[in-house]
Amino acid sequence: MSYDVEKPDEQWRAELTPAEYAVLRKAGTEPAFVGEYTDTKTAGVYSCRACGAELFRSDTKFESHCGWPSFYDPKDTDAVELLQDNSLGMARTEVRCARCGSHLGHVFEGEGYQTPTDQRYCINSISLTLAPDEG
């Protein structure tokens, strides 16, 4: 796949911490309930930690009690790409940054959350940075 932001693996390793690299570039998962943004209620925009692309707004974030930040919709439909993920012996939908291809987490549907989309974008905090709204 081709992305607007493409870098050699050595450059990603140099720019990201080992933990960020493991999640963003190798599709790892940070431990539940330890991420910086799991319980954050700050208003603002969540962007990709690897390339800065705007991904989610805080007004679509909700408490799912799953251990990772949850959103019911991306900021723009083109902000993320969804890919079939059959790892770990189950069928899931992986969420990646559409600008650089970095792994963000997974999206789940039909779990019964009272959200407008009935979707839960379960995103690793370490994949994101939050720019608080001014004012």
Give, in degrees to the nearest 5, the angle at Cα 108 between 18 and 47: 45
Domains annotated on the chain, with CATH: 9-132 (2.170.150.20)
Answer yes or no: 122 catalytic: yes
pLDDT by 10s per residue, the chain, length 135: 789 999 999 999 999 999 999 999 999 999 999 999 999 999 999 999 999 999 999 999 999 999 999 999 999 889 999 999 998 788 999 999 999 999 999 999 999 999 999 999 999 999 999 999 986
What's the predicted TM-score (pTM) here? 0.94
- Rg over CA atoms, the chain: 14
Beta strand ranges found along 22-86 (DSSP E): 44-48, 54-57, 61-62, 70-71, 80-85
What span, in angstroms and rounded, lies between the C-alpha atoms of 66 and 9?
Answer: 31
119 DSSP β-pair partners: 109
From 123, 24, 20, 23, select the one nearest 64 (Cα to Cα): 123
Strand pairing class (119-123; 70-71): antiparallel
